């Protein structure tokens, strides 16, 4: 018991030893959060408290209700639900899925985890990956039960060894978030917006017994809101996402991620809840592993239309360095490989020089976002290669030669330049008319965060055991993906760990 009672002092020492900026002062809110339960002025009390209304939070809420929870509440600091999950591309990797079985595709949880470990450069947590992969079908079924709809084919994204990725018909995460929100309402789950998480409240034994919320918060308007202490009977789930929009925090981990690199995330992805978990002793894991999306466009804000367009079309397209007219990468390598290759492309003065991705109109139009890409001026259609080269100031003859060379790879089925798998490019030659977009990486996903176990319990840096009453899932956690996350693996991660957190809490 003595060890437990001294946990806040030990946490202060831990933060200082980690060299976290302002560690001593950052620990003060945590010290002040220790309270005697009967002395706290509780404004609200609920069975399960969930902070964040994205994939993790909504899946947790629905699962808790299904398991018999009577009083579940979900808070979000924004005036709308879904957070970054709404901005998500709606791509959902599921091994052994119904659509794989229908198409005769052999896959397994072990195969998917192996693909992720390879992309994660061997430092991802295999036990977490296997747990998510083994329960991904349950998460998929939750979305189907809620009313989500998917296109009738599977995609094979970069780094995946087989096609296993579903795509919402909306081509965005809103196609999952909206049905889940509706399902929450049908189940009687309380959903509250403009409620910003401030800090955790512990009892004197080190158990999380609630959270201080700022009600009536207006993001970006200097209106913090009114403090309300919310008690939770079974636990608090932190499901607030990553810190991609916090330039100071992300560049402290990776100095290359300056303002020069935009983000696909909404402005609200600032990471305060993650910092609060660190203040109270959670273990920081893989904080420098921050993923950029190589399919994003410098010509639109956020995730935009080009992202899903490019994800689909990279398999049968060529990406070309404007200076040379030549390819510079395998267009469907894992995200880190491609982003690093793009970030190296520069003008003579060192400024970014986004490459162009060229697709035949005949094949580009197969993806539903192409019309919007052209409509909103973030992509261009050309009737011949001469006009294309002139528009982007690409050397004409090298570009012609590159297209001819690549079409030879399509015919032979072997990419002799970069080893790109050509299965999805079979019969899809680069020929006029063309659709062209520009690509430039955007900060997309933070692999780093707080350490959790396979039960979604946050690990204590003092005891290396779970912090009682504290749970987390999704992008606010670390270790799941390692150095580089495979595309379409965030939805299963978030939803499965949200469901897992509720299963753990309902057993407590």
Active site members: 335
Q: How many CB atoms lie within 10 A of CB 343?
A: 16
Using the CB atoms, write b or e for 50-59: b if 16+ within 10 Å.
bbbbbbbbbb
Structure tokens, 211: 């959270």
Q: CA nearest 155: which of 228, 94, 69, 236?
A: 94
- Cβ neighbors of 484 (< 8 A, separation 6 or more) are 119, 120, 121, 159, 289, 291, 334, 335, 336, 337, 447
CA distances from 236 to 176, 230, 338, 394 (A): 23, 10, 38, 55
Query: How many Å apart are CA 492 and CA 91, to the nearest integer?
Result: 10
SS3 label, residue 469: strand
SS3 of residue 62 by DSSP: helix
**8 A C-beta contact, residue 133 and residue 112:** yes
CA distance 166 to 94: 8
Pairing of β 195-202 and β 190-192 = unpaired
First-to-last C-alpha distance (Å) of the chain: 20
Q: In degrees, to the nearest 5, what angle opens at C-alpha 487 toward C-alphas 61 and 416?
A: 170
Structure tokens at 135: 């329960």
Residue 410 burial class via C-beta count within 10 angstroms: exposed 0-12, middle 13-18, buried 19 and up: middle
**How far apart are the C-alpha atoms of 88 and 78, rounded to whole Å?**
17
**Alpha carbon distance 244, 109 (integer Å):** 29
Give one DSSP letter per residue of 385-404, joined into a string: HHHHHHHHT--HHHHHHHHH
What tokens were used for 499? 């469901």
């Amino acid at each position: 018991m003595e060890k437990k009672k001294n946990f806040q002092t030990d946490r202060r020492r831990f933060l200082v030893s980690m060299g976290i900026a302002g560690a001593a002062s950052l620990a003060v809110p945590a010290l002040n959060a220790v309270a005697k339960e009967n002395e706290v002025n509780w404004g609200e009390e609920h069975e399960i408290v969930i902070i964040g209304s994205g994939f993790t939070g909504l899946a947790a809420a629905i699962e808790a209700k299904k398991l018999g929870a009577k009083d579940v509440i979900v808070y979000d600091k924004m005036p709308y639900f879904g957070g970054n999950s709404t901005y998500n591309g709606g791509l959902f990797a599921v091994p052994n899925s119904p659509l794989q079985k229908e198409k005769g595709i052999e896959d397994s949880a072990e195969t998917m985890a192996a693909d992720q470990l390879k992309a994660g450069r061997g430092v991802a947590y295999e036990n977490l990956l296997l747990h998510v992969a083994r329960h991904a079908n349950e998460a998929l079924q939750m979305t189907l039960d809620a009313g989500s709809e998917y296109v009738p084919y599977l995609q094979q994204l970069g780094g995946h060894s087989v096609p296993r990725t579903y795509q919402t018909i909306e081509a965005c995460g809103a196609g999952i978030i909206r049905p889940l929100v509706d399902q929450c309402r049908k189940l009687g789950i309380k959903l509250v917006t403009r409620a910003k998480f401030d800090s955790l409240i512990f009892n004197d034994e080190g158990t999380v017994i609630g959270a201080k919320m700022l009600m009536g918060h207006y993001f970006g308007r200097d209106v913090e809101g009114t403090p309300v202490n919310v008690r939770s009977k079974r636990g608090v789930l932190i499901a607030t996402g990553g810190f991609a929009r916090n330039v100071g925090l992300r560049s402290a981990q990776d100095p290359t991620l300056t303002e020069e690199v935009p983000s696909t995330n909404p402005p609200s992805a600032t990471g305060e809840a993650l910092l609060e978990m660190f203040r109270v002793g959670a273990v920081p894991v893989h904080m420098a592993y921050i993923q950029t999306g190589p399919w994003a466009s410098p010509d639109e804000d956020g995730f935009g239309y080009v992202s899903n367009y490019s994800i689909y079309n990279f398999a049968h397209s060529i990406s070309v360095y404007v200076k040379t007219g030549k390819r510079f990468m395998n267009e469907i390598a894992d995200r880190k490989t491609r982003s690093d290759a793009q970030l190296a492309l520069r003008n003579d003065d060192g400024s970014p020089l986004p490459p162009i991705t060229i697709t035949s109109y005949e094949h580009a139009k197969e993806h539903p976002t192409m019309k919007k890409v052209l409509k909103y001026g973030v992509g261009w259609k050309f009737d011949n290669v001469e006009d294309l080269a002139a528009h982007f100031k690409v050397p004409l003859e090298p570009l012609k030669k590159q297209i001819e060379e690549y079409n030879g790879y399509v015919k032979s089925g072997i990419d002799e330049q970069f080893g790109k798998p050509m299965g999805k490019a079979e019969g899809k030659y680069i020929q006029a008319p063309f659709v062209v977009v520009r690509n430039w990486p955007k900060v997309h996903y933070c692999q780093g965060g707080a350490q959790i176990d396979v039960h979604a319990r946050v690990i204590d840096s003092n005891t290396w055991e779970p912090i009682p009453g504290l749970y987390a899932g999704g992008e606010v956690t670390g270790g799941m993906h390692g150095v580089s996350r495979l595309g379409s693996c965030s939805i299963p991660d978030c939803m499965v760990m949200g469901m897992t957190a509720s299963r753990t809490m309902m057993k407590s």
